Chain A
Amino acid sequence: MPDDIIVLSGIKETLDNLKEFDKDAVKRFNKVINSELTGAERSAKGLINEEPPMSGWSKSDALRPRKTTRGGAGWPGWNAGEIKSKITKTKAQGKVRGDYTTSAGALLNKSAAGAIFEVAGRVASGTSRTTAQTSSGQFLRTLGNRFGKASRVVWRVVDKDKAKIEANVKRALDDAKAELQKHLNRERA
């Protein structure tokens, strides 16, 4: 994940005002964002194989799930279609953080199997990777060997393309602001 992030400001205000002068300009801006997010979504979906990551990972949910697994829901089956369909883009604002920022565009990985595949083996800060010779330890090691470290789907795409997407959206926003300013100047004149 890149260290530097671009904080966009005034998206809503710009679009709301620009809508009164030039709806096409608003559309152009939305098209840029949607295009970038769609591309990222497509890239994320492309990381999902039709076949399960491991041979023992069933394609369907467990018929008689263990009570201790996922609160009794059992291990989720690898349904590539469902996983892909639940990888989506969103422009909804999430929770406002302490630094007064929120999301203007994000990728979601909402399926259980997709989430496991995404984050399995992620090492929390301050802890070390497991070396346990158990089935779970073996699962994590195999997953890591085949697909790399955790952050295997949406986060991998974001890490890879975030800077490019941000730059494109920022440029589009600057254009929109400039367009709005032009209209405001004309209005004032």
Chain B
Amino acid sequence: MAVGAVVARILTQYSDKGSKAAQKDIAKLGKNIDGFSKKATKAFGLAAAASAALALKIGKDAVQAAIQDQKSQALLANTLRNSAGASKEAIVGVEDYITSLQKQFSVVDDELRPAMARLVGLTGSITAAQTLMDTALNVSAKSGSDLATAVNAVVKATSGQFKALKTLVPELSNTTIKSKNVAKAFEEVNKASAGAAATRASTLEYRLKGISIAYGEILETLGYALLPVIEKFANAVTTKILPGLEAWVNLNKDKLAASFQVAADFGVKLLGVALAFGEWASNNTLLFKGLAILIAGMFAVGRVAAFITAIKTVTSAMAGLRTTALGAAVASAFATGGVSAAAGAVAVAGILAAVGVGLAAPGTTSGGTGKKVSTGKNPLPKLGANGAVAAAVTPKNFTGHPSMNAVKPVVTAGDSFADYLKKLQGTLVSTTKATKDLLTAKQKELNLKLKELGITTTEQQDAITQMAILKNLQKQNDLRSSTIGLNGLTGNQNGSTTVIINNAGSVIAESDLLNKLVDGIQTVNRRNGGGLFNGRSINDVAV
């Protein structure tokens, strides 16, 4: 056809040229999609774990969305019944109307329902409310404001207050406003904003929003499918778990309170120990220095059996304390903090604070000590009530324990920390058997109660878990029954640096230990082709 000419087409015919190109493009797109799906499959395989996590998140989001949607629907239905006397069918019709608006104008139903409820409340008529809703949607789209603002302006305008509506729709004439003619005002507003909501919905932004809304709807649908499961679970917790727990707590509340009282008393005593230990440490700086050099030397050379034995001695003492200490915070502080007086003091302060607030948060201080209660197989204890279960169960094991009265070592003036530990260990050994017997009986009683609640105990666990627990208990028993005990670590208040360790009946002096160390180091260095300390003395091995 001529170029540059004026062309006036008379006859028009269909051409498949363009459609063939389109088909080709579609085929190409199909191949690309196939390729993408293959890659996506691989990626999905690699990210299966992540997908599972995502699925969990989607499930959670879905349930939350469904819960919100259900709440929103219920509120609107209530308003429709109360204000407009709407029947069940009418409520369903309004829901359909909301859904159609959502799809048509890409406005979420969570915004539409409150707006509809307000307009129905104002007019008392679903039809009138729908008319005003259309106006509000157009005003919202035209002015760029949210739907709630537009509805607010419309509601005010129905009572002759046009200021808000005039702000959103400047086309509303001042003459009409002065005349207070509501019908004419709405006529002008409708004329000025007609089709604005539809136009806005056709924009890219709102089409994307529409996709987002559609995804939200899918989530809600999924959530509605999951809701019955959640409801069943909640019912089980409400009707079975919580009443049982409440009854148990009511039955044992006096004993629980007594347990915490004992714990508080012991905490006060531990605070005294911590303070005494701090004083002792400051009076024995030379001994500390010697220990520091010893420890540094051990770690510089490697693993030395004697040092490990010494550590065992300290650990054993700490294990004794941990068993005696009722609060988990105190026990963990000693176990993890070792001889840290500061950690002990903080732990004591923690337990005092917990008791001081009237047992308000027992789970935070004793939750970690409930090792006899297994929650591995039963999901129910993972609920919020779990903390209460663990908190309530653990102290009960010690309630009324005679050893609690026996453990009252007296700190006298001039006693060292080691002296105190020695006294304490003596007391503990005498009460160990009684403690064990009582614990076993109480544990059996408790297990029966837990079984009634549907909680699995260690006795009911599989063989592998039981074997692991048994080994762990044996290990702890070994530590506790070590003959080194507290006798292994004694201090001389005269400032002497002598450290005597009683290991299974043998007596090792500090000099013997150091000689053994030096021998070990020399052996290592000889094997490595070097001399003694490679020109350094043991004192050069700094911390």
Contact = CB atoms under 8 A, between A and B. Distances in A.
A20 to B, nearest CB: 21
A96 B12 contact: no
A154 B13 contact: no
A100 B4 contact: no
Given A100-B18, A100-B19, A106-B1, A94 B7 contact: yes
Nearest to A102: B15
Contacts of B16: 100
A92 B19 contact: no
Contact of B13 (A11, A110, A153): A11
Contacts of A8: 11-14
Interface stretch (A54-62, A130-138, A161-169, A180-188): A161-169
A119 interface: yes
Nearest to B6: A109
A116 B262 CA distance: 110
Contact of B11 (A100, A104, A157): A104
Given A92-B1, A94-B1, A108-B1, A101 B13 contact: yes
Contacts of B2: 90, 108, 110
Contacts, number: 102
A29 interface: no
B10 A115 contact: no
Contacts of B433: none
B355 to A, nearest CB: 81
A3 B133 CA distance: 37
A158 interface: yes
Interface string A92-118: 111011101111111111100011001
A165 B11 contact: yes
A9 B5 contact: no
Contact of A165 (B1, B10, B14): B10
A115 B12 CA distance: 23
A166 B10 contact: yes
Interface residues of A, number: 44
Interface in A28-53: 33, 36-37, 40
Contact of B15 (A101, A158, A166): A101
A8 B13 CA distance: 4
A155 interface: yes
A6 interface: yes
Interface in B132-152: none
A5 B5 contact: no
Nearest to A106: B9
B17 interface: yes
B504 interface: no
A73 B520 CA distance: 109
A93 B17 CA distance: 11
Contacts of A103: 1, 7, 9-13
Contact of B8 (A92, A158, A169): A158
A100 B23 CA distance: 12
A158 B10 contact: yes
B8 to A, nearest CB: 4
A7 interface: yes
Contact of B18 (A96, A157, A166): A96
B225 to A, nearest CB: 44
* Interface core residue of B6, B14, B17 (most chain A CB under 10 Å): B6
A106 to B, nearest CB: 5
Given A94-B1, A100-B16, A100-B18, A105 B6 contact: no
Contacts of A155: 6, 8
B184 to A, nearest CB: 33
A146 to B, nearest CB: 19
Contacts of B8: 106-109, 154-155, 157-158
A6 B10 contact: no
B6 A118 contact: yes
A27 B477 CA distance: 113
Interface of B: 1-2, 4-19
Given A37-B10, A109-B5, A162-B10, 19 more contacts: A86-B5, A93-B15, A101-B12, A101-B13, A101-B14, A102-B12, A102-B13, A103-B9, A106-B11, A107-B8, A109-B6, A109-B8, A115-B4, A115-B6, A119-B6, A155-B6, A161-B10, A165-B11, A166-B10
Interface of A: 5-11, 33, 36-37, 40, 86, 90, 92-94, 96-98, 100-110, 114-115, 118-119, 153-155, 157-158, 161-162, 165-166, 169
Closest 8 CB pairs of A and B: A105-B11, A104-B11, A104-B13, A110-B5, A109-B6, A9-B14, A154-B8, A158-B8
